[in-house]
């Protein structure tokens, strides 16, 4: 083979290797981004479900008062939620303080 043919083959091999490396890097990047998006969505849904569970505990009259207040503490102080559920929590605190004035 001539020197020109060997040079062309060597350049082709290097370009092919670079193409494979770039394709692999792009595929890895896409996978990582997709996985990260999935994790963010899952975390968001988990937080929403946790907030909903606390909201149900606070509003359900069948639950013991102490559990409703504990759920309200988490709902208001940890999650910094507001609204009518917070008002119900404040009412529960008032009821609890009236019951335990001894």
Residue stretches of the chain with pLDDT short of 70: 102
Helix boundaries (H) for the chain: 3-59, 65-73, 84-99
53 touches 81 (CB < 8 A): no
Evaluate if pTM is beyond 0.85: no
Sign of the CA dihedral running 44, 89, 70, 59: negative
Q: What is the pLDDT of residues 23-44, one digit of tens each?
A: 999 999 999 999 999 999 999 9
**DSSP SS3 for 68:** helix
């Amino acid at each position: 083979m001539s020197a020109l043919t060997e040079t062309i083959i060597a350049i082709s091999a290097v370009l092919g290797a670079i193409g494979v490396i770039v394709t692999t890097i792009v595929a890895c990047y896409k996978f990582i981004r997709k996985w990260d998006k999935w994790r963010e969505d899952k975390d968001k849904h988990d937080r929403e479900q946790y907030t909903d569970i606390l909201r149900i505990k606070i509003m359900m009259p069948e639950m013991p008062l102490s559990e409703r207040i504990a759920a309200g503490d988490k709902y208001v102080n940890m999650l910094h939620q507001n609204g009518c559920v917070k008002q119900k929590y404040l009412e529960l605190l008032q009821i609890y303080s009236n019951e335990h004035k001894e």
